[in-house]
Chain A
Amino acid sequence: MGDSTLVLGQRLSAWCGHAPALEEDIALANIALDLIGQTQLWLGLAGQREGKDRDADTLAFHRDAWDFRNLLLVEQPNRDFGVTMMRQFLFDTWHLEALRALTHHTDADISAIAQKAVKEVTYHRERSTDTVIALGDGTEESHARMQSALDRLWPYVGEMFEADADDLTDMAALRPAFDAHLAATLSAATLTQPSSDFAHLGGKTGVRHTEHLGHMLATMQVLPRSYPDAKW
């Protein structure tokens, strides 16, 4: 959970000062901030449970690509605003369902983080859903870009529901709620859901990240790695 929010938070931060409108710029920066805040909670808890004296910053800045356990979807590059918003919509739709399930987790710390995050992510999903509808059902150009973004990112959807031993909840069980929200949104957005079930796997397990993660981490980690005791 923490690696996915970290990687997506870092990706979104790159839009700061570059989004197509001031409101979009502010929204993306705020969502990035929420995700980085959630990362501090998740990675903070992970470090505490691991018991090897690693805090959230150590886990974020001093691990290499193969040690990251994020979804492949979130490490995909921003490309244009359409791809960024489609990636956000697909992630938010899964994220909200995952957090709702985790609010009932038997571990009190996990449940507490989920209860906090679910409030923030409710706003994230509302916004990305509205944006996908507005752009999908917008001009010929915006429609074409959103359909192309969906086609490009679709192979990274399946991994979100792929079960593995480290999952905090039954990820496959989230699929019906995801599919329902997806279908309603795509229909309103006049977009077509791709028919292929093919899914790239390996991000969540760390076995096979895409080439994009390493480049992103190089930028994100350079300062604390080059100047290990830097304070600011």
Chain B
Amino acid sequence: MVTTQVPLDDIWRWLSDVPDPEIPVISVVDLGIVRDVQWDGDTLRVTVTPTYSGCPATAVIDMEIEAALRAKGIEHVTLKRQIAPPWTTDWLSDAGRAKLEAYGIAPPRPAGGPARCPRCHATTVERISQFGSTPCKAQWRCKDCLEPFDYFKCI
């Protein structure tokens, strides 16, 4: 049987069009959860690392990656879950960070809190709760425009 191995650059490009199901403005590649893509004969092996161990989006992400690759004509896809080294917000791409802020979610910072309000850009912000609408987010509030906002928390 003749098999065509699509160049890996194309695969990465296709994957960068697969949105995160909870935060659709960033892709699974922006999020840094696609760790590796390799051909093994006619099978494409994709290694994915979960953000939070109980994140319900993980199963949806796996399905969407597989569906996107099949839609491009790749017949044999296997997904491998890899938990070590554990996912860190350091793997979020710069493009992803900018897209998050434009969407209204303050991007993560090692300092442990948002730099500024994603809406009005004021720097006087306070934490409401370390937990938010998804496992990866915390709730903060701008003391200037008084709007609450999501902060993508650092792990």
A-B contacts counted at CB < 8 A amount to 71
Complex Cα distance, B130 from A30, in Å, reads: 10
Tell whether, in the assembled complex, residue A23 and residue B53 are in contact, meaning their CB atoms are under 8 Å apart: no
A-contacting 9-mer, from B23-31, B33-41, B83-91, B95-103: B83-91
Given known A-B contacts A115-B84, A116-B83, A120-B52, A26 and B131 have beta carbons under 8 A apart: yes
Complex Cα distance, B56 from A26, in Å, reads: 15
B57 to chain A, nearest CB (A): 11
Against B, the Cβ 8 Å flags (1 = close, 0 = not) of A27-70 are 10011111111101100000000000000000000000000000
B134 to chain A, nearest CB (A): 8
The list of the 9 closest CB pairs from A to B, nearest first, reads A37-B54, A37-B53, A112-B84, A27-B131, A33-B54, A23-B129, A116-B86, A119-B155, A30-B131
Tell whether, in the assembled complex, residue A33 and residue B55 are in contact, meaning their CB atoms are under 8 Å apart: yes
Q: Which of B52, B54, B56, B153 has the most CB of A within 10 A?
A: B54
Q: Taking the complex as formed, is B19 at the interface, i.e. its CB lies under 8 A from any CB of chain A?
A: no
Counting chain A residues whose Cβ lies within 8 A of the other chain, the interface size class is: 20 to 34
CB nearest neighbor in B for A41: B53
Tell whether, in the assembled complex, residue B130 and residue A126 are in contact, meaning their CB atoms are under 8 Å apart: yes
A31 to chain B: which residues have CB within 8 Å?
Answer: 131
Tell whether, in the assembled complex, residue B54 and residue A36 are in contact, meaning their CB atoms are under 8 Å apart: yes
Q: Taking the complex as formed, is A198 at the interface, i.e. its CB lies under 8 A from any CB of chain B?
A: no
Q: Taking the complex as formed, is B6 at the interface, i.e. its CB lies under 8 A from any CB of chain A?
A: no
Tell whether, in the assembled complex, residue A34 and residue B132 are in contact, meaning their CB atoms are under 8 Å apart: no
Against A, the Cβ 8 Å flags (1 = close, 0 = not) of B41-54 are 00000000010111
Complex Cα distance, B136 from A119, in Å, reads: 11
Give A107-129 interface residues, CB cut-off 8 Å to B: 108, 111-113, 115-117, 119-120, 123, 126-127
Given known A-B contacts A23-B131, A23-B139, A113 and B83 have beta carbons under 8 A apart: yes
Tell whether, in the assembled complex, residue B84 and residue A123 are in contact, meaning their CB atoms are under 8 Å apart: no
Given known A-B contacts A26-B131, A123-B153, A126-B130, A38 and B83 have beta carbons under 8 A apart: no
Tell whether, in the assembled complex, residue B84 and residue A41 are in contact, meaning their CB atoms are under 8 Å apart: no
B129 to chain A: which residues have CB within 8 Å?
Answer: 23, 26-27, 127
A113 to chain B: which residues have CB within 8 Å?
Answer: 83
Q: Taking the complex as formed, is B145 at the interface, i.e. its CB lies under 8 A from any CB of chain A?
A: no
Tell whether, in the assembled complex, residue B52 and residue A33 are in contact, meaning their CB atoms are under 8 Å apart: yes
Tell whether, in the assembled complex, residue B132 and residue A26 are in contact, meaning their CB atoms are under 8 Å apart: yes
CB nearest neighbor in A for B139: A23
Tell whether, in the assembled complex, residue A115 and residue B54 are in contact, meaning their CB atoms are under 8 Å apart: no
A66 to chain B, nearest CB (A): 27
Complex Cα distance, B52 from A37, in Å, reads: 8
Complex Cα distance, B52 from A117, in Å, reads: 8
B128 to chain A, nearest CB (A): 6
A26 to chain B: which residues have CB within 8 Å?
Answer: 129, 131-133, 139
A27 to chain B, nearest CB (A): 4
* 22 residue pairs from A and B, CB less than 8 Å apart: A23-B128, A23-B129, A26-B132, A27-B130, A30-B135, A33-B55, A33-B135, A34-B53, A34-B54, A34-B135, A37-B54, A38-B54, A40-B54, A41-B83, A115-B85, A116-B53, A116-B83, A116-B87, A119-B155, A120-B155, A123-B153, A123-B155
